[in-house]
Structure formats: C-alpha cells, structure tokens
Amino acid sequence: MRVLVFDPFRGAAGDMVCGALLHLGADAALVSRAMRSVVAEPVIQEVKRAGICAIGVDTRAPVVQRSLSQVLTRVKGADAPAEAIAMACRVFERIASGEASVHGESPHFHEVGADDAIADVIGACTALYTLAVDAVAVGTLSLGGGMASTSHGVYPIPAPATLAILQRSSLQVQYGTHEDGELCTPTGAALLSEFTTLPQGAPPVGVVVSTGYGAGDRDHPTIPNVLRASILETGSTPAGDEVDILETNVDDVTGEVLAGCMDRLMASGARDVCAIPCTMKKGRPGYLVRVVCFPEDSGRLSRELASGTGTLGVRCLPSVHRFVAGRETRMVTVQVCGRNWEIPVKCGLLDGSVFSVKAESDRVREVAEACSVHAREVARMAEEEAWKTIGRKTV
C-alpha cells in the first residue's frame, strides 16, 4: 500500500500543495496541461527556501473575482481527468461553504475566487490523481498568527474562512505566533481537508520511498517555508482504512430523481454509490440505495441521501474494513486516425505486480469522438499498449 503523508509544519497553500506533489513525482505534463486549460501556462521550477530545494508553482494568473457557479464552470471545463475535476469541485464547495458561514450567502468569493486558486486546485487534484496513492494522512496543520488585511478589513490569523473550513474537517491544528503571519490559506485548508482519508492519531508505519517539498512565496532566512510530503510503502492495509456504508430503501422516487441524487452524492465526496432493484412491502418495486463513504463524511452524506430521496431513515454500517488494491496511472501513446494520442491508463497492483489495466474513460471517449471510431477500440489499443510497456511484471 502507498500512503501519502503531508507534514504541514509551516502550514499549507494551494501552490505549496501542488508543488509538493510535483516534487514527489506527479505527472508534470498532465498537471501543466490541466492548469493551462483554466488559466495559463504555469511556471514550475525548483527554488530554495532556507537552503531546502523545493518546487515553486506560479500560475501567472490575474486577480479576478468570480462566483461559485463561475468557478465550477471553469473547473468542469478543465483538460484534466474526470476524477480530478470532481475532486476540485468538492474543494471549491468546501471553500464556498466556509465563506458563507462567515460572511453569509454571497454571489462572489471573497479571498479565493481568483484564477490563481482555480489553477492551484485543479493542478493539485490532478497531481494527486496521477500519484495514485491508496491513502492520505495529514499531520498537525500549523495555522500561524497575527493579523492580516482582507477585503473586509484587518482580521486575526487564521482567517475566519480558514477556520470555518477546518471546522468541517477532521484535521488537527496548532496556532502560531504574531511573527508567523498567515501559514494556512483557505485553499490550503480545503485541499488537505478533501485529500485526507486516514483519521488523525498515530502516523502510518512504513518505508519512505519518496519525499517532496512545495515552496511558499516567503523565504525566511532560517525557517524553510515549505510543505513537506512523503510516500510510504506499508506491508499491509493502513490502520484506520475504514469506510461507512449508508443504506436506504425507496419505492416512491423516479429514475430521474434517483440518478440526480446519486450524482450529488458522488460530487459531495461519496466513494461509491449504487442502486439495487428490490421488491418492497406490498409487492412494490423499489431500490436499495447504497453509499460507501469515509466515516467523517457519513453524517453529511446521510442528510444528503435523505433530502435527495425523501427517505425517512438511513441505516449506517460503521467502520467496515476496506481492502484497496494498489494503483498507478501510466500515460501511453496510441495512434488513431493517423494521429498520436496520449491516454491515461490506471494499473491495479497486488504485491507490486500489475494485475489489471483500465484506460481512462473520459479521455477514451474524447479520442473516439474526434476520430469517429468506437470507444471500445480506443480503450483496447490503450490497454494493449500499457501491457506492452509493463510486460506483465512489477511496475
């Protein structure tokens, strides 16, 4: 199992998260393409912070105020894997919810509606997707201290929106001093809150296989302004890798309503959702709706399931142990209709050996439509190419 561990000893911001994942080995070409599709070509380069080599990310984005709907529209149009886009949308929904709880409902974001946040978030989510880790742990998050100027005036650090976002997460935090300034931004808080899958407490145990550092803007002469991340390989499923299962039976909702509810549950952080046909009381046809989610999300998703279907009860099967096979995403190049196309292929691993390959469906459909061929033919070509490069041996 591959576990990604964040050590935010000097806080976190969107560019720091993205830089740390790139330093770990995330697919820089895919990340740059995703960021370029929403803003501009980013500048990704090695820099030093107090003598430590780190990756700095500059989105080269202007300051633009946008509404949540505008942000989500731009994110959904990104040239990025579907899983990364869905995760990025959830990150911005966390930010919007945090800001709304502080400032009330507003048509625009206050501090993070700018294009640089959009680029940082889609870049970080794409980077995480390409690393294909099995779990994510986040250490104690340093928030900083002092005062900062915002669009509403001078506020104490951490910013109210940052605290509101963290209040809805399971992350442990620590306050700093006036000299620290702002160490954790709303974007950084939302990204780490969305990424984490392991409960706080004892850190995971394993062998360190890679380490990366994401650079912040400031360069303190003696304190490295970086976000450290590492990947551990463990001999077994990480402790605490558990999920909750939510269930309810419905016999009075239409297919359209049920499909919409399932889409919302996935967009809100469910790991999987399915509807199983069943026969209910009085011989009525209905569905057993089953949702798989992380324990910290079960209360929120239970309410979403109830409000979306009108059911009066949701059963929760807590703390079900989950086995997850290892995963790694590889980029392959195939020739279709006389052109070369890059297609991501997700590889499943057991004990370090590949046992399955699956071409990324959105990219397959895109290539198939551009070339007027069947999607299954494009997927077959990509998966065969992946097997050739792997040789059915250890990745």
Structural domain of 151 = 2-233
The predicted pLDDT at position 394 comes to: 41
| pLDDT digit string, tens, across residues 310-348 | 998 999 888 777 777 777 788 899 999 999 999 999 888
Residue 52 lies in a domain: yes
Same domain, yes or no: 250 and 299: yes
φ/ψ of residue 203, rounded to 5: -70, 155
Low-confidence residues in the chain, pLDDT < 50:
237-240, 393-395
The predicted pLDDT at position 239 comes to: 44
Same domain, yes or no: 258 and 181: no
Query: Which parts of 255-390 fold into alpha helices (H)?
Result: 255-267, 298-309, 361-371, 375-390
Same domain, yes or no: 149 and 272: no
Same domain, yes or no: 190 and 141: yes
| pLDDT digit string, tens, across residues 177-205 | 999 999 999 999 999 999 998 876 667 88
Last residue of a domain, one of 202, 233, 264: 233
Same domain, yes or no: 281 and 267: yes
Residue 395 lies in a domain: no
Residue 280 lies in a domain: yes
CB neighbour list of residue 319: distance below 8 Å, 6 or more residues apart:
242, 244, 295
Same domain, yes or no: 62 and 151: yes
Same domain, yes or no: 150 and 298: no
Residue 94 lies in a domain: yes
Same domain, yes or no: 80 and 151: yes
Which two three-digit tokens encode residue 204?
Answer: 């995971």
Same domain, yes or no: 117 and 71: yes
Last residue of a domain, one of 182, 207, 233: 233
The predicted pLDDT at position 152 comes to: 67
**How many domains, the chain?**
3
Same domain, yes or no: 200 and 278: no
Q: What's the length of the chain?
A: 395
Residue 162 lies in a domain: yes
| pLDDT digit string, tens, across residues 276-301 | 999 998 889 999 999 999 887 888 89
pTM, full prediction:
0.66
The predicted pLDDT at position 45 comes to: 97
Same domain, yes or no: 50 and 191: yes
Beta bridge partners of 248: 289
Last residue of a domain, one of 321, 350, 370: 321
CATH code of the domain containing 351: 3.10.20.300
The predicted pLDDT at position 170 comes to: 80
Same domain, yes or no: 183 and 100: yes
